[in-house]
Amino acid sequence: MSELKNDRLLRALARQPVDVTPVWMMRQAGRYLPEYRQSRAQAGDFLSLCKNNEFACEVTLQPLERFDLDAAILFSDILTIPDAMGLGLYFETGEGPKFRKPVRTEGDVSALKVPDPDADLGYVMGAVRTIRSALAGRVPLIGFSGSPWTLATYMVEGGTSKDFRTIKRMMMAEPETLHALLGKLAESVTSYLNAQIRAGAQVVQIFDTWGGVLSARDYEAFSLGYMRQIIAGLLRESEGRKVPVIVFTKNGGQWLETIADSGADAVGLDWMTDIGRARARVGDYVALQGNMDPATLYGSPERIRAEVADILARYGQGPGHVFNLGHGIALDVDPDHAKVFIDAVHELSAPYHQ
């Protein structure tokens, strides 16, 4: 593997000094880029794009050709694991992901197998290896997975949901069934992320997109507890370097202390949490990632720069901050506005690292 030329992200995640604050964007490879839309049209559909190593590599690198990003993130989807479990994943235009065989009963859970990441998800590992080779040490590569709770919401609901009624009914009426499902998913995510690390991922992030729909007690029992289990089972060193782990729970700002105690190296913040207050609460224990409102990118360049300046000022002096959006970039954002954002982070953050 090539020597890493830009290790700002890894240094920031270790809360070590950097010259400027590193920045990447969730969903940085995606539909807001015209070149991505061309690649997807060539591939035929979204899943074909994910499952073709060359296309997955191509779209992973596209934002790095446009922007001065400090990381690449594997182009894939959080629902690869349930897809490999045989649930019949498909995508309907305008409606998001759906499963032909949702998981609703104890028997459904018992029938699920834990996927072999190299055999059943080999296309993901192939993409990781292809991307690492193409990056040639330019920036680190981030691998990822959905959290067990977030994956379970899609599997039980059969797709996206507004109220999570079906999985919450299972949680309240048949908690043993849900715990059995989450246990299988935790085992699956652990082996999946370890396979990504062995294939070349240098950082991993757990996306707990729907953890914030739970009560505090249920978050600990049905989401964070399983993420702790995963983190404890991960390979933490590869190629002579530590492999940092980021946990991102959307709407999880009220649980920062317990998330920081999970074993993760960094906590991702959505835009509802003030980053200065978050640093005061947990910044001595973990790095913080975030947390500009993605809607800011609809604003003028001046508005974007002002928001970047405000977040940097709220975080304050010193290392331990990875700048990011508080969730994924929206599909209708002008790519030129994304460039303003990324350049502003580097330009305006330098005084905070002197």
Catalytic residues: 27, 31, 40, 77, 154
List, as residue ranges, the binding site for substrate.
27-31, 77, 154, 209, 327
| HSE-up of residue 235 (Cα within 13 Å, Cβ side) | 19
Q: Render the burial of 14-32: b for 16+ CB within 10 Å, e for the rest.
A: bbeebebbbbbbbbbbbeb
| Cα(108)–Cα(207) distance, integer angstroms | 24
- Parallel, antiparallel, or unpaired for β 287-289 and 321-322? parallel
CB-neighbour burial class of residue 290 (10 A; exposed 0-12, middle 13-18, buried 19+): buried
Task: Centre a 10 Å sphere on the Cβ of residue 274 and count the other Cβ atoms it contains.
Answer: 15
List, as residue ranges, the binding site.
27-31, 77, 154, 209, 327
C-beta separation of 57 from 134 below 8 A: yes
